[in-house]
A and B are shown apart, each in its own frame.
Chain A
C-alpha cells in the first residue's frame, strides 16, 4: 500500500476550493427571472444532490480506507479497461468544462489582446509540473490558496458593501419550474469534487464523515455570499454582463482602493490550476497506480488539443460547456462506485483489500 499518506481534512479543503471555482466562472448560467431567495433554495437542492453523489465513494473510503479506482482494480480486474477509459474521458471533459470558460473570461474581460490557447498552454504546462509532484503537494498549495481566497473574498465583499441597494431588490420568492430545474442543475456542478474524491482519496488518512459535509456547507456559504452581492450590489447590471463575479470584483471599491479584479483573476487562475492538476493526477491514476510523468504529459496534451478544438469550433465548445451534459456525466461517474458498495460484505472487503499485494 502507498505509505505516503496525508490528512483527509487538507484534501477536502482543496476540493472545497475547487468547488468554489464554479461560482467564480459563472456566466449567465442562472435564470434571469429567478430571485435571490429562489436561487438559495435551488442551491440547497443542488448541494444536497452533490452530497448524495458523494455517498458511494465515502462508503468505500470508510470501509476499505482506499479510493474507488484501487478497489475497482482489485475487485474487478476484467473491468479495468472500461473503467479507465470512462474516467479518463470524463476527467478530460471536466478539465475543458473549467478551462474553456476561464480562458474565455481572461481574453474577454481582462486582457482582450491575448490568444486563449496561449493562456491554456501556459496553465496546462504548470499543471503538468504540479501533477507530477502529486496530490499531497497540490493540497499543501490548497492551504495557501485558502488564505488567498479569504483575503480576496473579504476585499470583494467588503468593497461591495457600500453599493448594496435594498430599495430596488427584495427577498421575495419568484421563479417558475423551468427556472428551478435550470438553477438546481447548475448548483449540482460542484459534484465533480465527489468524482475527484472517489479517484484520489486513497492517499488520505483520518477520514471523518463531517469533512465532506463541512466542505459542502462552506461551498454553499460562499455561493450564497456571491449571489447576495451580485443581486443586491450589481442588480440588473449583472444580467447584462458576462461573468458577473468578475464584474462584482471590478465594481468593488474600498475608499480609493480599487482593482480587486486582479485579486479575483489570481484566485480564479489558481482554482482552475488546482482543478486541472488534480484531474491530471486522477486521470493518471485511472490508467496506472503510480504517478507517471509520461501519462501526465499525454493527458495534458489531450486536454490542450481539446481546448484548441473548443476555442475554434463553436459546436465543440457548446458540448464542452454544457451544464446538463456535465451533470449527467458527473452523476454517472460518481454513482459507478455504488456498484462496489453493494458487492461483497464489509468485513470481507476490508480483509481482501488489506491482504492484496499492492505497491
Chain B
C-alpha cells in the first residue's frame, strides 16, 4: 500500500513539475521555415514565413534594424507562438549583404535554438517577390544550393561556414550562393569581401 502511494505521489509530482504547462503545443506553434531580409523604403524588413500547407506562403513582414530586434518584435507583437528551431533558409537581398550578412549571422550563431546547418544565400529583388508569391521556392533554392556546393566545395552555403569565414583571420574574401530570378530561378557564386561587409 505504501509503495503504491509512493508511485502515485511520484507520478503526480512528475506531471506537476514537468513544465508542460508553459510549453508550446505543436498545433498552435508558429513554426518558421525561412526568413527573408529585404530593403523597403530605406528600411530593412524581415519576413518570417510560417510553415503551412497553403499554395501561397504565409509571410509576416516586420521592419527592424537587426534580426534580434525583428525576433523580439515578432514574439511580442506579431507571432506570439514563434518557433525558430526549424528555420532552414535565410535569404538576404543582395543590396543588404554589407549591412545584414555578418551581424545577423553572428546573432544567429550565438542563439541555442538555431540549426548551424541551415542554408544562407543572397538573392535579387525578383527572387524575393517570386518567393513570396509561390510555395515550393524554398525546396528549389535548397536543391540548387546543394548542387552548387557539390560543384564548388569552397562556396559557403550555411550559417556555420559563413560565420567561420567572417571569424577567421586567414581569409579576406569568400563566396556564397546568389539566387537570381528572371523567369526561372538560377544560382551562382558571389564573392563577399570581408572589409566591405564590415
List A residues at the B interface (Cβ < 8 Å).
108-109, 111-115, 117-118, 121-122, 125, 163, 165, 167-168, 234-237, 240-242, 247, 250-251, 253, 258
Contact = CB atoms under 8 A, between A and B. Distances in A.
Contacts of B17: 115, 117-118, 121
B171 interface: yes
A235 B112 contact: no
A253 B160 CA distance: 13
B113 A112 contact: yes
26 contacts: A112-B112, A113-B22, A113-B23, A115-B18, A115-B19, A117-B17, A118-B17, A121-B17, A122-B14, A165-B161, A168-B164, A234-B160, A235-B160, A235-B167, A236-B164, A236-B167, A240-B109, A240-B110, A241-B109, A241-B110, A241-B112, A242-B112, A250-B115, A250-B117, A251-B115, A253-B117
Interface in B132-170: 159-161, 163-165, 167-168, 170
B57 to A, nearest CB: 22
B116 A121 contact: no
B112 A109 contact: yes
Given A113-B19, A113-B22, A247 B116 contact: yes
The 5 closest A-B pairs by CB, nearest first: A113-B23, A236-B167, A115-B19, A118-B17, A235-B164
A237 B164 CA distance: 6
Contacts of B117: 163, 250-251, 253, 258
Nearest to A118: B17
Contacts of B24: 113
Contact of A237 (B13, B23, B163, B170): B163
B10 interface: yes
Contacts of B165: 168
A113 B170 contact: no
B72 to A, nearest CB: 16
Contacts of B159: 237
B20 interface: yes
A28 B122 CA distance: 32
A320 B18 CA distance: 23
A114 B19 CA distance: 5
Given A109-B112, A118-B17, A241-B112, A165 B164 contact: yes
